[in-house]
Amino acid sequence: MDPLISPEDLSHLKHDRSGVIVDARSGQDARERYGRGHLDGALHVHLEEELSDIQEDLRIGGRHPLPPPERFGSLLGKLGIEAATHVVVYDDQSGASAAARFWWMLRAAGHERVQVLDGGFRAALTTGFPESTETPVPRAKPPYPVTSWQLPTLSMEEVADYVKDPRYVLIDVRDESRYKGIEEPIDTIAGHIPGAINLPYAHNLGPEGFFLPAEELRRMYQPVIAGRPASRIIFHCGSGVTACHTLLAFAHAGMEIPAIYTGSWSEWSRNGKPLAREKT
């Protein structure tokens, strides 16, 4: 199953009673925006409250640490997701906020039948998919049996070791201005992890907000991969959310899903770790 689904093909899932559509739009007003209008039949998931385990001290895991796998399994059951369920997830930022994160979590839980809506919320409305303000009642299932994350995740300590090893490559997907330390609108310190290279996640998208074709993505990332196995390719961002966008791009390109440093810059920058800047 391709990890992306087109807005045109989404209509087929509308008639599949075993399918589940998930609205993963994030932000402080995410619930309000969902209430004002969402794709008909979509259930909402909340990035901060359901897809993260945020600690009072952000030095522990950064801004969006992963929740315990068992807690995520309980959420999936409440959403009516079981092993055979076809899941489609969308947001309003071409997958970056936080549809790709939910996709990655499902894949890391061992679930295969999950796709991100290419182009997102507006693209579906443009193709005529109905919008609704009604909140559907999910057909709850038993908790999904998730006991561990089955895709590679790395700790801050592991990243600190691997970034010194030329067999590994650490890739920061934030905007260039944040990577260079020119600005930092979210976290407390500007800059990047020394040794990391910058490939903004926005490069995965064409001008209309759809993912580039698989072949173009392979051509873009092959020089960086340089023959490394996926376990030695590490992606991070500000808090472990938008990095999943590039992991999704790898899967769409038919490449193995690399590792992710989920704590990302929001954890690294709060723990007195070395930092680099490239101000111009």
**Catalytic site residues?**
237
CA gap 106, 131 in Å, rounded: 25
Amino acid at 124: A
Is omega for the bond preceding 98 within 30 degrees of 0, making it cis?
yes
What are the CB-based long-range contacts (under 8 Å, 24+) for 213-220?
214/252, 214/253, 214/254, 215/253, 217/249, 217/250, 217/252, 217/253, 218/253, 218/254, 218/255
Helix or strand holding residue 204 (H, E): none
CA gap 3, 1 in Å, rounded: 6
Helix or strand holding residue 115 (H, E): strand 114-117
**Who contacts 24 (Cβ-Cβ below 8 Å, separation ≥6)?**
44, 45, 47, 51, 89, 90, 91, 97, 98, 99, 101, 102
